[in-house]
Amino acid sequence: MPNQNSLSLYEKCWYKHNFKRVTDILILFLLISLLCYRIISLNHYSFTWFVALTCELWFTFSWIFIFTSQWTPAIVKTYPDRLLQRVQDLPAVDLFVTTADVLLEPPIITLNTVLSLLALDYPTNKLSCYVSDDGCSPLTLYSLQQASNFAKLWILFCKKYHVQVRAPFRYFCDEQPQASTYKHSTPEFRQEWLEMKEMYDDLSRKIEEASNKSNPWQLDGEFAVFSNTDRKNHPTIIRVIWGNKERLLDGLPQLIYISREKRPKHPHHFKAGAMNVLTRVSGLMTNAPFMLNVDCDMFVNNPNIVQHAMCILLDSIGEKEVAFAQCPQQFYGALKDDPFGNQMVMLFKYIGAGIAGLQGPFYSGTNCFHRRKVIYGLSPHNIEKGTSHFLYIVIISVFKDTVINQRGDYIYVLYILVLLADLAGNKISEKELKQIFGGSEELVKSVALALEGKSYVADDDINVPKVLDAATQVANCGYEYATGWGQQVGWMYGSITEDVQTGLTMHRKGWRSEMCTPNPIGFTGCAPNCLPNAMTQQKRWATGMVEIFFSRHCPIFATLFGNLSFRMFLAYMWIIDWGLRPIFETFYISLLAYCIITNSTFFPQGLGLWIPVTIFTIHMVYTLSEYLVSGLSIRAWWNNQRMSRIKMVNVVGFLSALFKLLRLSDTVFEITRKDENSSENGVHDLNVGRFTFNESPVFVAGTTILFMQLVAVAIKLLGLQPIKSGDNGCGIGEILCSVYLIICYWPFLRGIFEKGKYGIPLSTIYKSAFLVFLFVYLCRGSVVG
């Protein structure tokens, strides 16, 4: 029998999809054949030929990014029973919850997330929950205070009856019919269940009443600090709602409210800035070696998720190689057949598992366990060389990043000089340390201890007023100036998708990451339940990816000058393609209408036409089979195919990033609305799943594409095309593709004739009509020319 101490705490198992591999290679072969056809038909060179070749070349690259990313899928199996036998004293974990808008992210949702975290099956004296309120709302603080009273009894109830879903909203929404069949369905349980539900309903009622009042409290006492504040202009506010000073095992985890300082003329760096403030404040107050960050709408679905993550992070190999453990996102209350294509079931099943088999999954911004040392800038190759060596690397990286395209010989000379100085007894000074982590002496001490794997200070020695003063200092908006925060340490700045950029920085240093997928899954959340929210989310992701691609954090640089593996580089290019592909997709779709209007063609002629036909047929049939094998419906498959066409012409994200790069405008972080209602909580709306629209510019592109195809088909049917001799006129291929697009955009066509929120606003219709008129005019002009 093997020694328990010699067994791994987790194992990674690779598996193969042989049929999928064959299909992927076949499609790649056909794409390359199409490119070869374009090249050998050089004698047919024209504007349409050049545009088609450019777009198809990028589509081929995109396909390479996709199929190489899912070539070697893997799953991770954890063994928490071995962890409990081997580790007697589990490490502390700081829990981060971020919220930014009390209207778009209702406090009741944030409250449920916090309650589910406080009720984790983990020693409560090892947990501390920090809630970042970037909206600076007294309602959020009030809700947390009320929730702390309920949490004392809720935690006892969950652990007594081994409740799995520990967000009260999810637990009580459909639990009444199950109470009689619950395995603990005794009179005592039923009585406690009813009492807990009544208390939660009372808590929800209080928060709802407070939300509906314009001025729910007199802003005095502890709420006086919120007087004359604005969400973009307010001082730092930190409140210890519940402090487990005695560190009792059966007590309540610490709960701290933080609203960092914001001023109009100071950049706050969106969520990345909030995460860095949470890191600094928690470093002063608890300094746990591990940190879990979740969005305000991500509830704990597996109360043992921390133990599963610790299996990865505390394993003998994981301690040296793994920077973070990422739990996948899954969503509760999913609409039937996924009408807006945002459940991403197939994406996590194939792409997610494939990337897990490479250098590790991307950091997706939520449900992620981080190693504090890594957030502080530690690299795997210097993890055992102490804080002094680490500081050399950080200082050198500051210079190296500024001259990434230049020769850096002097950097290594600098390193040798500093190393020799250290050997002579001259350690890195506290002044140099403060240049990286800021001017707080208390924070610098906590950073040094964290890098050495030590706790901050003994609990008896904590001076609470002094700690709060220091925490307020590091949460001020000017603290990061002339430091390494957001550049070399902490969450990275420069992109509104700070999660992908931060994870890329860790992978560039040589760290790996692992996917934590216990059964049941660790977290569940709410996905956007209407088209405007889905399109806004897509726009934000696209903008962030373009920002990363044109920055010094680009995966190309991470591979050439860092330790990012080549296949991981291709995987990152797949996700960055979300921001770049809309340009090529829009040009390709516009080319269809151009060829119909001008009576020309860009598809291959003769037998060559079968190449794109075969690609389209194989791809559609194979993706359909994947959905059916996964237990999803044909309708769900079609909804996702349709939404992929609609989302992929959302060029607003690319343009937003382009305008920022040209310094014509600043990036705007648009928060996705969170709604607690779902199809499972008794809401049966016949209009659920219908497309709704608003005046957002994200709908201009889709409406324009629809008008463009309708006009092109009308011109063909009415015989208004210019007459051309020979076989170079518009063929059946262009017409069929145009009709296919009209079918994909059928909800937009309905929206033109609908009213209210189900109708496309007139302003959007006018903008699209003008763009199509201009497009047709230019097409006609090219024929005359």
DSSP code string of 62-131:
HHHHHHHHTSS-EEEEE-HHHHHHH-SSPPPEEEEEEE--TTTS-HHHHHHHHHHHHT-SS-GGGEEEEE
Rounded alpha-carbon distances, angstroms, from residue 363 to 27, 98, 513: 30, 16, 8
Distance, in Å, from the CA atom of 474 to the CA atom of 490, rounded to the nearest integer, reads 13
Annotated ligand binding at 647? The verdict is no
Is 105 one of the annotated binding-site residues? yes
- 42 contact partners, CB below 8 Å, separation of at least 6: none
Half-sphere exposure of 721 (CA within 13 A, CB side): 24
Task: Spell out the alpha helix ranges (H) of 345-385.
Answer: 345-346, 353-356, 372-375
Active centre residues (catalytic)? 134, 499
CB 190, CB 215: distance < 8 Å: no
Q: CB–CB of 128/315 below 8 Å?
A: no
Residue 610 phi/psi, 5° resolution?
A: -70, -15
CA 267 – CA 273 distance, rounded (Å): 9
**Closest alpha carbon to 115 in 186, 53, 171, 46:** 171
Cβ atoms within 10 Å of 317's Cβ, excluding its own: 13
Instruction: Please tell me the number of Cα atoms within 13 Å of 388 on its side-chain side.
Output: 11
Tokens 């500093």: give the residue.
Answer: 418
Nearest to 211 by CA among 118, 105, 298: 105
Beta pairing, strands 299-300 & 127-133: unpaired
> Which residues make beta-bridge pairs with 407?
none
Both structure tokens of 96:
């981060």
Q: In whole angstroms, give the CA distance from residue 282 to residue 256.
A: 9
CA distance 123 to 37: 65
Q: How many CB atoms lie within 10 A of CB 487?
A: 19
- CB of 49 within 8 A of CB of 41? yes
Nearest to 676 by CA among 111, 131, 212: 111
Q: What is the C-alpha to C-alpha distance for residues 655 and 642, in angstroms, rounded to an integer?
A: 23
499 phi and psi angles, rounded to 5 deg: -65, -50
142-153 exposure pattern, b = at least 16 Cβ within 10 A, e = fewer: bbbebbbebbee
Angle between helices 464-474 and 270-285 (to 10 degrees): 160
* Residue bearing tokens 């580790």: 87
Q: Residue 36's CB: how many other CB atoms inside 10 A?
A: 12
Is residue 271 part of an annotated ligand binding site?
Answer: yes
CA neighbor of 376 nearest in space, from 491, 217, 489: 489
Structure tokens at 67: 């199929």
Contact criterion met (CB below 8 Å) for 62 and 581 = yes
CA distance 169 to 175: 10
Distance CA 677, CA 529 (A): 9
What does the DSSP 8-state code read for residue 525? B
User: Annotation-wise, does 262 bind a ligand?
Assistant: no
371 HSE (CA, 13 A, CB side): 29
On whether the CB atoms of residues 591 and 602 are closer than 8 A, the answer is: yes
- Residue stretches of the annotated binding site for Mn(2+): 271, 295
Binding site for UDP-alpha-D-glucose: residue ranges? 105, 134
Which residues does the annotation place in the binding site? 105, 134, 271, 295
